[in-house]
């Protein structure tokens, strides 16, 4: 082993000592993730339905370059543009913001269940 | 001479366990050296936001049964399509690996590099290195 390389354990300790990455509190991370998910959904559907970029562009009334830039994530989506892809691909669109499960609200939900039981008994 | 290969866990700080829906993810250590882990630390030190973009690519991959489509987040080695390059979208972090289905579906990361413009040779070398490490793993 080359002695200039740090040992794995040292590297792991260094990583564990870094500040928390806080994915859930980072809008940039959530946006990048959501963008990537939507693009993969479109690509999967294009594969499944055997639709080319040119055909998809025609279906949504945009240029092939526009579709290409969306699919390589060089152009951001608007909700309207996501909807146009969903309509063209004959798909439902589900966008929602849901409450994150945390220890606190799980406890609240459990209490609701307990109260329901008490009321029904 | 015998080579010691070990699979180590991707640090949970970077990949929380709840992301591992369709695949698990591990890092390959060869003779006590883990190049992928060295790369991860380099990415985070260079640009934490760029590194998080790479992690969002992994989050998408780990929830998808199929390997991602080639594009802004994934490339495949032209000489061996089993070798995958995971990318930060519009960024610099690049982590290489392959899929092993010997015991469940595991993405095994081998090495990485920080991409700078016009350095195709560096990418080719990283792909070749990943291929070599994959061969070691399967041999």
The answer to whether A21 contacts B68, with C-beta atoms less than 8 Å apart, is no
pLDDT at A121: 40
pLDDT in tens, A109-119: 555 555 554 45
pLDDT in tens, B21-51: 999 999 999 999 999 999 999 999 999 999 9
Q: Which two tokens stand for residue B53?
A: 């973009």
Does B75 map to a domain? yes
CA B87 to chain centre: 9
Domain tally for chain B?
Answer: 1
- Burial of A64 per CB tally in 10 Å (0-12, 13-18, 19+): middle
Tell me the angle at which helices A53-60 and A79-88 cross, rounded to the nearest 10 degrees: 110
Phi, psi of B29 (to 5 degrees): -110, 130
Does B29 map to a domain? yes
Give the whole-angstrom CA distance, residue B139 versus residue A58.
Answer: 49
- Burial of B47 per CB tally in 10 Å (0-12, 13-18, 19+): middle
Strand order in the sheet with B93-100: B5-9, B24-30, B106-114, B93-100, B80-87, B74-77
Contact B110, B134 (CB under 8 A): yes
Tell whether the model's pLDDT for residue B14 goes beyond 80: yes
Does B87 map to a domain? yes
- What are residue B95's DSSP bridge partners? B86, B112
Tell whether the model's pLDDT for residue A3 goes beyond 60: no
- Given CB atoms, is A13 within the 8 Å cutoff of chain B? no
Tell whether the model's pLDDT for residue A78 goes beyond 90: yes
Give the whole-angstrom CA distance, residue B1 versus residue B9.
Answer: 26
pLDDT at B91: 95
Domain hosting residue B71, numbered range = 20-138
Strands B106-114 and B80-87: unpaired
Q: Which two tokens stand for residue A56?
A: 């998809």
pLDDT at B48: 94
pLDDT in tens, A10-20: 999 999 999 99
> Which residues in chain B have their CB less than 8 angstroms from residue A48's CB?
none
Tell whether the model's pLDDT for residue B125 goes beyond 50: yes
pLDDT at A1: 46
The answer to whether B44 contacts A18, with C-beta atoms less than 8 Å apart, is yes
Mean pLDDT of A30-47: 95
Give the whole-angstrom CA distance, residue B62 versus residue B25.
Answer: 8
Residue A32 is nearest to which of B31, B32, B53, comparing CB atoms?
A: B53
Nearest CA to A21 among B50, B32, B82?
Answer: B50
Q: Which domains does chain A have, with CATH numbers?
A: 9-94 (1.10.260.40)
């Amino acid at each position: 082993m080359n002695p200039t390389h740090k040992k794995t354990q040292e590297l792991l300790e260094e990583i564990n000592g870094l500040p928390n990455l806080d994915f859930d509190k980072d809008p940039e991370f959530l946006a990048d993730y959501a963008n990537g998910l939507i693009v993969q959904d479109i690509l999967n559907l294009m594969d499944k339905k055997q639709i080319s970029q040119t055909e998809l562009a025609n279906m949504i009334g945009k240029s092939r370059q526009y579709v290409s830039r969306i699919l390589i994530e060089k152009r951001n989506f608007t909700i309207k543009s996501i909807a146009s892809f969903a309509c063209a691909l004959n798909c439902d669109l589900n966008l929602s913001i849901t409450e994150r499960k945390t220890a606190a609200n799980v406890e609240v939900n459990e209490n609701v269940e307990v109260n329901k039981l008490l009321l029904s008994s | 001479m015998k080579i010691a290969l070990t699979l180590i866990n991707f640090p949970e700080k970077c990949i929380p366990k709840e992301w591992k829906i369709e695949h698990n993810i591990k890092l390959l250590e060869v003779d006590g050296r883990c190049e992928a882990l060295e790369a991860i630390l380099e990415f985070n030190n260079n640009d934490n936001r760029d590194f998080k973009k790479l992690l969002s690519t992994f989050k998408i991959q780990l929830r998808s049964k199929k390997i991602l489509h080639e594009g802004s987040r994934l490339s495949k080695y032209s000489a061996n399509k089993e070798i995958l390059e995971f990318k930060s979208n519009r960024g610099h972090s690049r982590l290489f690996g392959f899929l092993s289905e010997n015991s469940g579906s595991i993405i095994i990361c081998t090495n990485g590099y920080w991409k700078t413009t016009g350095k195709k040779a560096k990418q080719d070398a990283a792909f070749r290195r990943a291929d070599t490490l994959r061969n070691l793993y399967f041999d």
